């Protein structure tokens, strides 16, 4: 059984910081070609610009993937650089707290657009490319799509209703696309994670020093995960070791969903 992704080409979105950035860097270390895609051009350039200039296996792409033309341009840039696409990691997402009773707030629609529709459209376009480049006589895998989800899809935090709705929808999209693309030998899975030491969580901890203790108290493994622990799960799903795994939502949360009450911290 091999967890190798060496020589494969991956697109990782939401790759300017946090978990997306960690996954992209992890893939590079494992020998993959990686396109780091994000809307935040300045942050993307700061994190990976110098590496992209020196490393032939690394590219950066800045653009708003909510736009269909941007998706088309991302795929074209990836194929121009590496000739194919083997892995897509949909990591571009937002979490915006909002009052669920505020009729004037469009948080649900906004996050459905960002967290669901962007991943759906990019997955559809990437799957077409994977099908086109695959050998119809080959019984091996034609591609892998991994969506970054959240345990919020199964938790009830009213202030995070929009985020919970969008990630729950993403989980169902994962299952539906897995069945639809199975005949084409493309696997679709997701990693749902809990508290990870991302940029947003670091910011929250700076504002509230007691927040760390609250999170740890609600996590059976008694700590906050590092981004690399999500990267390892994503690599597994991207590799041939998961060749018979599709439509699954792998949870990486230190056991938090086993005990998490409604009053637990939102992160």
Structure tokens at 215: 């999170």
Contact of 211 with 29, CB cutoff 8 Å: no
Q: Among 27, 26, 20, 21, which residue's Cα sits nearest to residue 5?
A: 27
Q: Among 66, 169, 191, 40, which residue's Cα sits nearest to residue 108?
A: 169
Task: Give CA–CA dist 135/141, Å, rounded.
Answer: 10
Residues 6 or more apart from 226 whose CB is under 8 A from it?
Answer: 196, 197
Out of 36, 61, 82, 163, which one is annotated catalytic? 163
Contact of 5 with 238, CB cutoff 8 Å: yes
Active site residue 236: no
Residues 6 or more apart from 173 whose CB is under 8 A from it?
Answer: 116, 119, 120, 123, 147
- Cross-strand pairs, 13: 37
DSSP string, 106-155: -HHHHHIIIIIIHHHHHHHHHHHHHHHHS-TT--S--EEEEEEEEGGGTS
Q: Which residues are catalytic?
A: 163
């Amino acid at each position: 059984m091999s967890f190798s992704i060496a020589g494969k080409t991956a697109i990782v979105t939401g790759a300017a910081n946090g978990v997306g950035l960690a996954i992209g860097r992890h893939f590079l270390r494992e020998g993959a070609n990686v396109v780091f895609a994000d809307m935040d051009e300045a942050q993307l350039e700061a994190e990976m610009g110098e590496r992209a200039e020196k490393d032939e296996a690394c590219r950066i792409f800045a653009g708003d993937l909510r736009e269909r033309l941007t998706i088309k341009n991302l795929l074209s840039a990836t194929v121009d650089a590496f000739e194919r696409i083997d892995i897509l990691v949909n990591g571009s997402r937002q979490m915006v707290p909002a009052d669920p009773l505020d009729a004037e707030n469009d948080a649900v629609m906004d996050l459905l657009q960002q967290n669901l529709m962007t991943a759906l459209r990019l997955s559809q376009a990437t799957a077409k490319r994977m099908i086109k480049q695959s050998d119809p006589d080959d019984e091996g895998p034609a591609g892998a799509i991994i969506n970054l989800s959240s345990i919020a899809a199964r938790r009830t935090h009213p202030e995070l209703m929009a985020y919970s709705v969008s990630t729950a929808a993403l989980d169902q999209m994962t299952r539906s696309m897995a069945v639809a693309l199975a005949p084409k030998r493309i696997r679709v899975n997701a990693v749902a994670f809990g508290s990870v030491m991302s940029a947003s969580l670091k910011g929250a901890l700076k504002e509230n020093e007691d927040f760390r203790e609250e999170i740890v108290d609600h996590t059976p493994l008694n700590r906050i995960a590092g981004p690399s622990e999500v990267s390892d799960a994503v690599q597994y799903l991207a590799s041939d070791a998961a060749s018979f795994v599709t439509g699954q939502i792998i949870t990486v949360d230190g056991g938090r969903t086993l005990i998490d009450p409604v009053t637990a911290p939102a992160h």
